[in-house]
Chains A and B, each alone.
Chain A
Amino acid sequence: MSDEIESLIRREYQAGFITNIESETLPPGLNEDVIRIISGKKNEPEWMLEWRLEAYRKWREMDVPQWAHLQHPPVDFDAISYYSSPKSKDDAPKSLDEVDPEILETFEKLGIPLHERAKLAGVAVDAVFDSVSIGTTYKDELAKAGVIFCSISEAVHEHPELIRKYLGSVVPQQDNFYAALNSAVFSDGSFVYIPKNTRCPMELSTYFRINELNTGQFERTLIVADEGSYVSYLEGCTAPMRDENQLHAAVVELVALGDAEIKYSTVQNWYPGDENGKGGIYNFVTKRGVCDGANSKISWTQVETGSAITWKYPSVILRGDNSIGEFYSVALTNGYQQADTGTKMIHMGKNTKSTIVSKGISAGRSQNAYRGLVRISPRAEGARNYTQCDSLLIGDQCGAHTFPYIENKNPDAILEHEATTSKVSDDQLFLCRQRGIDEEKAVSMIVNGFCKEVFKELPMEFAVEAGKLLEVSLEGAVG
């Protein structure tokens, strides 16, 4: 595996990418030249550069969206550096054992050391440090199955026909402000292609980590599941303590063709800011999948505990008949965190089904909002949606909000939406404490129970981690 890292880094060299400093970062600001430099550094073909420039021109004309239930100082897009490469090759980890101890420590705290994870059978790790993918494992095994799992920059060179066909097909360049920005400057990310009638032999996984101060992160992920295939993809994130807000505007596109299934799981644990609400990551993410063929399925599961600001709506366009969309979410906010997250289910095909289960937990002085859209188009005969949004409040300084939009144009559809808000009840706490469980532990137990419905959708290793993550995130929320 370390050979592959070596070769990847060497390739960067060949592109004239040499540096003596710890990392190479472009000066702040964005213009067409910056995009040309980014594209040039990655040695991209002309069509890719044009695509980026087109996105940039559209972005210039767009306004920052203001509708979310979020309050933060405006982001100065000219103060952000739009490209940073990893630390020089001498410092770059040659294997996962050499990963920054800080990240290891975080995983240690979560009970799942990274080196152990990497060894876990069936998990391939494509570690993304800052913006450039530096390592991919298990490639051979995947190659045997015909699965393509590589960095998106690599895919631009090696599978241009797939990239040209699918990049921007789900999230067009001008889709929204942050997606347009990402399309213009995306640095790297993962590309997955599962061939027809193939079950991906292992769960694919990427670790994201923001490493450089003041560096926007613009990952781009594209997963294409061809007819009759199946893939489960895990995305996990951690970031070390930083003082300044960091912007993250990722785009994830999923394409499921006929009878294909994609399961996308996320554990997001970026730096949420300190106890005074200073710092923390601004996370403006566009995630969308399209169930393009009949009987296809896309399932999003997310555990969101990090980031100062979360703006994220993993969505499914149910175009194929009988296709299925699912969204399972736990969003926990503490301190001064703010989250405006939810999903969109766009029913277009006949007998399409969607399930939304969202659990929001607010503690401290945080604000946690669920915002969702369920739209049934006139030809979505027999469409079915079930939505359940529950909020739990811990403390009297926080807020929990629900904004579900339901638009129905088909009389044959059945839609249900339910939302409740409650607090950790005194009775429940009393019961636990009476049995010798301290208050903090008791709250974490109750919260874990509250989230169980979502956790059971996570792959096993993630579920364990997610439970621990909630515990860590809730530290100091009680008492």
Chain B
Amino acid sequence: MMTPNELKQQAQQRLQQQTSLEWLSLPAKAQATFAELDMPTRKTEAWKYTPLTALLNNTYLEQTAEGAVDESAAADRVGQLGDVSRLVFVNGRLHPNLSSYSDLENQGVITLFSNANDAQRELINAELGTAFEPQQHVFAALNYGSIDEGVLIQAPTDFKVQQPIQLVYLSTSEGQSALAQSRVLVYGAAGSSLELIEQYDSLGDTNVFHNHMTEISLQANARLTHMRLQMEHESLSHVNGLHVKLADGSHYEQHALAFGSALKRNDINVNFNGSNAYCRLNGVFLSKHKQHIDNHLNLEHGVPHCNSDTVYKGFITDSSRAVFNGRIHIHKHAQKTEAHLNNKNLLLSKQAELDTKPELEIYADDVKCSHGASIGKLDDKSLFYFQSRGIDRATAEAMLCLGFVNEMVEQFPNEAVIDLARQRLAEFFNDVDKLNHLWTLE
């Protein structure tokens, strides 16, 4: 096992490799930031409950990820959402055969960094890396320190993108350890509207460390509906940054479904930069076996008259561990803010652990803020109710668990995504050790 410091040194050597995108200004800055920062340990407040063991036990950084992919298996994995513009990345690299997005590419909505024209390069340089505090995200620095490719999704002024855009990140490594890095910049110009689906998936047992960044900048009155499905194999490690900037009157909605894995960490950062903006963060996370999942949410209310609603639900069983941290930060001048956050959890096993910390940091008086967190078990009365009507206990338990999770899943604003999520949930529940009996979704 490496020490965090050894991991950092290895990563730094990797960062010194040249990027092919010499017009990008960010990598040099990010490399400098990375050099300054320490890898998180148990004493790092934001990583208090999430050890990097999975990363330290592997040699992710020594190899580059190439690898062939079984195209028909991959097509099955990614092709269930019907009519969408699709980009498929295998271990962080675009796979053209599996992708189909030429319409939006021709309209200039989807552009690879390597194909960016001057205006787009300028936009990328101006926007990338600006939606978060670099000093607080060491993995973002690692990602941005070595950008060789990326995706720019740019909705022009008042442009309503009809089809959802589906980004699929497939991990496949056939047991070999590999590092996959990817990044997306979404720029919604004034009055534009977009629907984005990010699907993180894998083919078989995979030993990949996926380090991903999504940055979103919404201009005045722009809208983005963002669905995120993290459904990879449990052997993988995944650190994910989602950083959002909201201008006047913009509207951002995120719906997430996330399964645990060897290490899974989501950092979500939403910055309210213009008044009357709205943000909804909905999420449900599930962990079983020895999985680990950590969601860190941070809402920075920097201006008056913005609202946010956050609901995250957790399902934790077997020997897994889940961590939730939700922070609402109301800055001094952010009067008339209404911000609510709730984290509800179902803890089902004696070996499992949940650590949750909803935080409020408030510097303005004319605001309405609340947060709540609860941890509970299956309700005995509800179980009794089922049983008294002839439903056996196992089925009753399964139905209650599903009901708990489904409350979030059915809020996904896309029927095809709901179907996909339910199908994968059924697979997930099928081998929960504790619920390995009957599990049907019908």
Contacts and interface: CB of A to CB of B under 8 A. Distances in A.
A412 B345 CA distance: 12
Given A407-B355, A411-B350, A402 B376 contact: no
B353 A409 contact: yes
Contacts of A397: 332
Contacts of A417: 358, 371-374
Contacts of B370: 418-421
Contacts of B366: 396, 423
A396 B350 CA distance: 46
Nearest to B333: A396
Interface string A407-427: 111111111111111110000
A67 interface: yes
A443 interface: no
B360 A419 contact: yes
A422 B377 CA distance: 31
Nearest to B323: A407
A394 interface: yes
A409 B365 contact: no
Interface string B334-371: 01000000000101111111111111111111111111
A416 B355 contact: no
Contact of B360 (A67, A400, A414): A400
Interface residues of chain A: helix, strand, loop or mixed (majority): strand
A396 B335 contact: yes
A329 interface: no
A411 B349 contact: yes
A415 B345 CA distance: 9
Given A396-B332, A408-B347, A416 B372 contact: yes
A418 B355 contact: no
Interface in A415-450: 415-423
A416 B371 CA distance: 11
Main SS class of interface, B: strand
A415 B365 contact: no
Contacts of B354: 406-408
B298 to A, nearest CB: 13
A267 to B, nearest CB: 26
Interface string B370-409: 1111111100000000000000000000000000000000
B46 to A, nearest CB: 12
A69 B367 CA distance: 21
Contact of B375 (A378, A398, A414, A423): A414
Contacts of A404: 357-359, 373
Contacts of B361: 69, 399, 401-402
Contacts of A415: 373-376
A423 B364 CA distance: 9
A411 B352 contact: yes
Contacts of A393: 362, 364-365, 367
Contacts of A414: 374-377
Contacts of B356: 406, 408
A397 B331 CA distance: 11
Interface string A313-356: 00000000000000000000000000000000000000000000
B391 to A, nearest CB: 21
Contact of B373 (A398, A399, A406, A420): A406
A403 interface: yes
B45 interface: yes
A411 B347 contact: yes
Interface residues of B, number: 36
A50 B353 CA distance: 41
B365 A402 contact: no
Contacts of B45: 67
Nearest to A390: B370
A448 B352 CA distance: 42
Nearest to B365: A393
Contacts of A401: 359-362
Nearest to A419: B371
Nearest to A400: B362
A405 interface: yes
B352 A402 contact: no
A86 to B, nearest CB: 43
A119 B368 CA distance: 46
B377 A411 contact: yes
Nearest to A397: B332
Interface string A23-66: 00000000000000000000000000000000000000000000
A366 to B, nearest CB: 11
B365 A423 contact: yes
A391 interface: yes
Contacts of A409: 350, 352-353
Contacts of A391: 360, 362
Given A393-B362, A401-B360, A416-B374, A423 B355 contact: no
A356 to B, nearest CB: 13
A418 B342 CA distance: 9
Contact of B359 (A402, A412, A413): A402
A395 interface: yes
A406 B364 CA distance: 26
Interface in B17-47: 45
B40 to A, nearest CB: 15
Nearest to B364: A396
A405 B357 contact: yes
A391 B371 CA distance: 12
Contacts of A378: 350-351
B359 A403 contact: yes
Contacts of B347: 408, 410-411, 413
B243 to A, nearest CB: 23
Contacts of A412: 350, 377
Contacts of B335: 396
Nearest to A369: B361
B375 A406 contact: yes
A361 to B, nearest CB: 11
A419 B363 contact: no
Nearest to B355: A407
A414 B344 CA distance: 11
Contacts of A395: 365
Nearest to A399: B363
A415 B367 CA distance: 27
B321 to A, nearest CB: 9
A416 B349 CA distance: 18
Contacts of A402: 358-361, 371
A418 B356 CA distance: 13
Interface string A69-97: 10000000000000000000000000000
Contact of B357 (A406, A411, A418): A406
B369 to A, nearest CB: 4
Contacts of B363: 398-399
A335 B428 CA distance: 54
Interface in B103-149: none
Given A67-B45, A413-B375, A420-B370, A403 B357 contact: yes
A396 B357 contact: no
Interface in A365-397: 378, 391, 393-397
Nearest to B361: A401
A423 to B, nearest CB: 4
A240 to B, nearest CB: 31
Interface in B321-335: 332, 335
B362 A423 contact: no
Given A404-B373, A422-B369, 16 more contacts: A394-B365, A396-B335, A398-B363, A399-B361, A399-B363, A406-B375, A409-B353, A410-B350, A411-B352, A412-B350, A416-B373, A417-B372, A419-B358, A419-B372, A420-B370, A421-B367
23 contacts: A67-B45, A378-B350, A393-B362, A393-B367, A395-B365, A396-B366, A398-B365, A399-B362, A401-B360, A401-B361, A402-B361, A404-B359, A404-B373, A405-B357, A411-B349, A411-B377, A413-B347, A413-B377, A417-B358, A417-B372, A418-B370, A419-B370, A420-B369
Nearest first, the 10 closest Cβ-Cβ pairs linking A and B are A393-B365, A402-B360, A415-B375, A421-B369, A417-B373, A420-B370, A399-B363, A423-B365, A401-B361, A416-B374
